[in-house]
Structures are given as structure tokens and as C-alpha cells.
Structure 1
Amino acid sequence: MSNASGSQSSTKAVVHGEDLGHGNSPAAWTCVFIMLIGALVSSIAFAIANSPIFWAGVVIIGIGLVVGWAMRRAGYGVGGSKLKNTH
């Protein structure tokens, strides 16, 4: 039997009890904080029609992504080696 939209159903089982982590880590929080600052800078620059400052805000958002990625690689992401409790 075919679906009217043309898509096929997935055969993967969904596990609802699995803990996803939701990104609660120093890497994620730092990434989001830096990106929010970049969005604020870009938003203000857009409102005052200042292109160079707008693009500086976009660059800050990119820096936030790189910092988050680097911190995750350094072990500060969800389940990272720096966050494991060894007591």
C-alpha cells in the first residue's frame, strides 16, 4: 500500500526512555552564549543600518561555532573525558 505523499514509513524503533543529554555541557553553553552575543550585535547593526557591524556579528556567530566544536573535541562536550566523574 502506498502513501499519498510518496514517503515510506521508517522501520527504526524509537526508544523514549533514552537520555539524550540535550547539550548540557560547558561546550554547548559557551557556544550558545557566544552565538547569542553575535546575534545581538547583528540585530542592533541591522536596526541602525550598519553593514560592517552586522557582518562582524555574523563572524562572532561563526567563532561561537568553532569554539563549541573545539571545546567538544577537547573533552568538554556531553559525555566528554573532562566531565567524567572518577570519584
Structure 2
Amino acid sequence: MAGNYHHGNSPAAWTGVVIIIIGFCVGGLFTVRAELLGVAASCGIVALGVIVGLVMRAMGLGQEPAAPARPAARAGAEPTVVAVQAEEGAPVAPATSAPAEATAG
């Protein structure tokens, strides 16, 4: 799995991140200068970086999606039966992974 996963090292990821970093730098500059319009414009640059990254990924320049994980046990599936032996010579009693139902006695 580690051999197929390249941690976002793709043209789409790099382009999106560079645009977002530029947006944050511009926003920091305008924040220090107390110019609200410039801060709002920098938020637009950050949003543009996200959009560019997603569009480039849709164009095939991003990382392929990871394969889905192995599915968990289905609801209502048969429980796993394990043989348990308490002592030497004692009869074998099956144990299940499902909780035992309480019996009134």
C-alpha cells in the first residue's frame, strides 16, 4: 500500500497548495495593514486555490483515489464459531463471537 500512495505529490496538489499559500500571505499582509477589502480578496484567492486543485484532479492530474478498505462483517452474518476446551479430557463447547442471549431460568 505504501508503494502506491504518493502523499499528494501531484501537479494538482502542488498547484492548489501554492495558490492557497499565496492567498494566506496576501491575507496576512492586508491584515497587518488593516485593509478589510484586501483580506476579503485573499479569502477569494484561497478559495480559488481549492477550486483549481479540485478541477485539476478531475482532469486527471491528481492522485488516484485509494482502493476501498476490506468491508467489515455484514449485519446478520453468521457468527464465527470457535472450539474451546477448558481442561484436558473435558468436552469441547462451541463459543461464538455473538453475545449469548440471556435465558430465564
TM-score by length of 2: 0.57
Q: Which runs of 5+ in 2 are unaligned?
A: 66-105
- Stretches of structure 1 that go unaligned for 5 or more consecutive residues are 1-17, 81-87
Percent of aligned pairs with the same residue?
A: 38
Query: Which protein has the bigger strand share?
Result: 2
Query: Which one of the candidate residues 12, 34, 43 is aligned to 1:27?
Result: 12
Higher-RCO chain (CA-CA 8 Å, sequence separation at least 6): 1
**With structure 1 as the length reference, what TM-score do the two structures score?**
0.69
> What does the per-residue CA deviation read over 1:45-70, in whole Å, with 9 as the maximum and x for residues that have no partner?
00010000011001000000000000
Residue 92 (structure 2) aligns with: none
Aligned to 1:4: none
The structure in which a higher percent of residues are helix is: 1
Aligned length: 63
What displacement does 1:79 show?
Answer: 3.4
2:24 to 39, 44, 51: 39
> How big is the alpha-carbon RMSD for the aligned residues of Structure 1 and Structure 2?
1.3
